[in-house]
Amino acid sequence: MKIAMIGTGYVGLVSGVCFAEFGFQVTCVDKNPAIIERLQAGEVTIYEPGLDELLTRNARDGRLIFTTELASTVADADVIFIAVGTPSRRGDGEADLQYIYAAADEIAAAMKPGAVIVIKSTVVVGTNADVRAHIAKARPDVPFSMVSNPEFLREGSAVEDFLRPDRVVVGVHDERGSNAMKRVYRPLYLRETPMIVTTLENAEIIKYAANAFLAMKVTFINEVADLCEKTGGNVQDVARAIGMDNRIGSKFLHAGPGFGGSCFPKDTRAYAATGRKMNAPQTLIEQVVMVNEQRKRSMAERVIQAAAKSGAKTVAALGIAFKPNTDDIRESPSLDIIPALQKAGLTVRAHDPEARSAAEPALPGVVWCKSAYEAIEGAEITVLLTEWNAYRALDLKKVASLMKGNLLFDLRNVYGEQDIDGTGLEYHSIGRPRLG
Ligand code: NAD
């Protein structure tokens, strides 16, 4: 079985590499020649633990090819995955499906009879049926199957998530589509990974509902943290206890500076927009979107107020990526917080272990540093924005001695009382009592 993977971003590249690891012949296509040139040269274009080794091995063994030639690749493929971006449309928050339709047009022109076309990108309900009609109109002579196969991998553990998912969801409209998916995911099936075979529409709604629910859980615990701060509570103790209830579960109950990343912000906006359009208001998620935006502003405000009170001029920002183990900065809270600090007249010295090259053009005026300690040097305030392992065990006495001031804002609750005691730092975290 030959697989074509259209789009070699976080989802397309990881999926393509992992399908090759399953033993299939995979050709990954991207319209960006710079990405393909680097991949052809054996260079991994995104930072994702474990990807390097799998990519090198499968490319060397001839199961994995990279090209910009979509037409010839599709003409030869049995299963064609679409993994292009579906960003937010400016203004209304709806998902911008232009890349999906552009890829669909190119696929329609080149596909062979019996091809199975699979949308892996996150698309709003109705898109698969619409794309199917669109392709059928362009090529009424060619039989093909449409499949919706939303992806649930997380950046930072994408390879592991792809190879060991909680479940695989496939939406189909015919047996050929469902049989193709059973073959493609057979290695996981053998490991007893549940496979939900459902309708195109269900698969589309499942993806958005899952992300909306997780974003809501994060927003919920952030608001609990606010209440803890005002009342002397500790959000970590509260989260731990409520999370032990199996009906709630302990995951996604970590309070922080607001969710970011390439999925939750755009997917909650698109989900809410779909609800408005379909006259089925998703009121909870509308609130989640609004509260999360406010949260990022309020985080910056905390630091700005502390700076004004203490006369601080320089802030060290540790971590730009929206979470650890990725170089992805899309909609990272740091992209709101750092410019707000700069606007308030503060100088920002920043460090991130992997995201600097992505972040530099997005954050003009920032002083980039090679290590956390270099960033901290001379700063009156340090803000920990992303919980990279490299920031989990900083020598806080050294931090205090390098800093000009002594304020540490830990927006990820990495440190505790025992770490702060005796350092001379004034420690502010999220939803926990102030220390020092
Ligand atoms: P991305 O922006 O990293 O990558 C998309 C790639 O597609 C780009 O390299 C682009 O050049 C390429 N592309 C666009 N149009 C093309 C075309 N016509 N032909 C060939 N290549 C084309 O996107 P991503 O983060 O991988 O996300 C892809 C989809 O998967 C989105 O819908 C996203 O919501 C969804 N998703 C993402 C994640 C994640 O963690 N990133 C997780 C689950 C689902």
Going by alpha carbons, the residue nearest to atom 25 of ligand 1 is 10
**What's CA 192's distance to the chain center, in Å?**
26
Q: What is the pLDDT of residue 91?
A: 80
| Ligand 1 pocket mutation, candidates 30, 207, 332, criterion most atoms within 8 A of CB | 30
Q: What is the ipTM of this complex?
A: 0.99
Q: Is any atom of ligand 1 closer than 6 Å to the C-beta of 73?
A: no
What is the whole-number distance in angstroms between the Cα of residue 265 and the centre of ligand 1? 15
pLDDT band for 4, please (50, 70, 90 cuts): very high
Nearest to 49 by CA among 164, 151, 188, 155: 155
Q: What is the pLDDT of residue 92?
A: 87
Q: Is any atom of ligand 1 closer than 6 Å to the C-beta of 8?
A: yes
Going by alpha carbons, the residue nearest to atom 29 of ligand 1 is 121
Distances (CA, A) of 417 to 130, 176, 231, 323, 432: 56, 59, 18, 24, 10
Q: Is any atom of ligand 1 closer than 6 Å to the C-beta of 32?
A: yes
pLDDT at 60 over 90: yes
For residue 365, say whether it is annotated as part of any ligand binding site. Answer: no
Q: What is the pLDDT of residue 189?
A: 82
| Ligand 1 pocket mutation, candidates 14, 151, 268, 322, criterion most atoms within 8 A of CB | 151
List, for residues 353-390, the tens digit of each pLDDT value.
999 999 999 999 999 999 999 999 999 999 999 999 99
What is the whole-number distance in angstroms between the Cα of residue 281 and the centre of ligand 1? 28
For residue 217, say whether it is annotated as part of any ligand binding site. Answer: no
Q: Is any atom of ligand 1 closer than 6 Å to the C-beta of 9?
A: yes
pLDDT at 187 over 90: yes
For residue 154, say whether it is annotated as part of any ligand binding site. Answer: yes
- Distance (Å, rounded) from C-alpha 262 to C-alpha 409? 25
> Over pLDDT 90: what percentage of the chain?
97
What is the whole-number distance in angstroms between the Cα of residue 345 and the centre of ligand 1? 36
Q: Is any atom of ligand 1 closer than 6 Å to the C-beta of 29?
A: yes
For residue 252, say whether it is annotated as part of any ligand binding site. Answer: yes
- Closest atom of ligand 1 to 102 CA is 18
| Token reading at 340 | 């707000």
Catalytic residue list contains 28: no
Q: What is the pLDDT of residue 233?
A: 97
What is the whole-number distance in angstroms between the Cα of residue 80 and the centre of ligand 1? 14
For residue 243, say whether it is annotated as part of any ligand binding site. Answer: no
Asked whether the beta carbons of 376 and 310 are under 8 A apart, the reply is no
Q: Is any atom of ligand 1 closer than 6 Å to the C-beta of 35?
A: yes
Domains, the chain, in order of start with CATH, read 2-198 (3.40.50.720), 225-428 (3.40.50.720)
List, for residues 97-106, the tens digit of each pLDDT value.
999 999 999 9
Strands 115-119 and 2-6: unpaired
Nearest to 185 by CA among 124, 100, 116: 116
Going by alpha carbons, the residue nearest to atom 37 of ligand 1 is 11
For residue 323, say whether it is annotated as part of any ligand binding site. Answer: yes
If DSSP states are collapsed to H, E and C, what string results for the chain? CEEEEECCCHHHHHHHHHHHHCCCEEEEECCCHHHHHHHHCCCCCCCCCCHHHHHHHHHHCCCEEEECCHHHHHHCCCEEEECCCCCECCCCCCECCHHHHHHHHHHHHHCCCCEEEEECCCCCCCHHHHHHHHHHHHCCCCCEEEEECCCCCCCCCHHHHHHCCCCEEEEECCHHHHHHHHHHCHHHHHCCCCEEEECHHHHHHHHHHHHHHHHHHHHHHHHHHHHHHHHCCCHHHHHHHHHCCCCCCCCCCCCCCCCCCCCHHHHHHHHHHHHHHCCCCCHHHHHHHHHHHHHHHHHHHHHHHHHHHHCCCEEEEECCCCCCCCCCCCCCCHHHHHHHHHHCCCEEEEECCCCHHHHHHHCCCCEECCCHHHHHCCCCEEEECCCCHHHCCCCHHHHHHHCCCCEEEECCCCCCHHHHCCCCCEEECCCCCCEC
Q: What is the pLDDT of residue 14?
A: 98
